[in-house]
């Protein structure tokens, strides 16, 4: 590995850690969010200090995209995932695709059509009168390359049906590619599946 590549890798890791923490700070806390446990013991002061402010711009210069552009990618990954995991038995497959299409590359369109048109899944949703609403709970950079970024998106999903309500959580790997001054989603798959 070249020295520049090694520095870029370290810079990406530091920025990814910042995005993961920064992304959490951008997410609204809800009344159902667990409160921090109360502690009667005094915690020791942290001994490590953050890097000097002058170091951050130098690290950012090693990345293939500026930090603001990476924040925009993470934001789009979150919106796309929330839309992907939100659906209703009363909603047509075309309406679901129409909501996601502006955020996706042309190469992802056939996969969207296939996911939307699974007759077995649609019949199961209709029979149980299922509706799902997803909210993003965490974002983190998983992979950063000169022509793409993969964001791990954790989403909480609430499914209501004729038999009650269930809550689940899933992690997705969302790969985005730049398209002019914006991003488009190139792929979405379960985070455990890797980046295929």
Residue range 180-192, pLDDT digits in tens: 999 999 999 999 9
pLDDT at 47: 53
Contact between 63 and 15 under an 8 Å Cβ cutoff? The reply is yes
pLDDT at 183: 97
Distance, in Å, from the CA atom of 31 to the CA atom of 124, rounded to the nearest integer, reads: 32
Residue whose structure tokens are 């109360």: 38
Comparing 30 with 172, which gets the higher pLDDT? 172
State the pTM of this model: 0.70
Q: Please report, rounded to a whole number, the percentage of residues in the chain having pLDDT higher than 70.
A: 67
- From edge to edge, which strands make up the β-sheet containing 148-161? 87-88, 131-145, 148-161, 164-179, 182-190
Three-class DSSP category at 130: coil
pLDDT at 71: 94
Mean pLDDT of the chain: 78
Residue whose structure tokens are 């689940």: 168
Q: Give the domains, in start order, of the chain with CATH numbers.
A: 3-28+57-193 (3.10.450.230)
Whether 46 shows a pLDDT value over 70: the answer reads: no
Residue 149 tokens, joined: 């970024």
């Amino acid at each position: 590995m070249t020295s520049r590549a090694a520095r870029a890798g370290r810079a990406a890791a530091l920025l990814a850690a910042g995005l993961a923490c920064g992304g959490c700070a951008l997410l609204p806390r809800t009344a159902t969010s667990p409160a921090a446990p109360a502690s009667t013991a005094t915690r020791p002061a942290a001994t490590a200090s953050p890097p000097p402010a002058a170091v951050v711009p130098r690290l950012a210069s090693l990345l293939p995209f500026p930090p603001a552009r990476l924040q925009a990618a993470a934001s789009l990954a979150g919106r796309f995932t929330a839309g992907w995991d939100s659906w209703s038995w009363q909603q047509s497959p075309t309406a679901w695709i129409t909501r996601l299409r502006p955020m996706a590359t042309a190469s992802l369109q056939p996969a969207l059509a296939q996911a939307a048109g699974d007759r077995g899944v649609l019949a199961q949703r209709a029979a149980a009168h299922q509706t799902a609403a997803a909210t993003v709970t965490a974002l983190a950079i998983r992979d950063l390359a000169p022509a793409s970024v993969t964001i791990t998106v954790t989403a909480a999903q609430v499914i209501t049906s004729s038999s009650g309500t269930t809550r689940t959580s899933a992690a997705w790997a969302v790969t985005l590619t730049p398209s002019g001054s914006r991003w488009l989603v190139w792929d979405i798959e379960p985070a455990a599946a890797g980046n295929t």
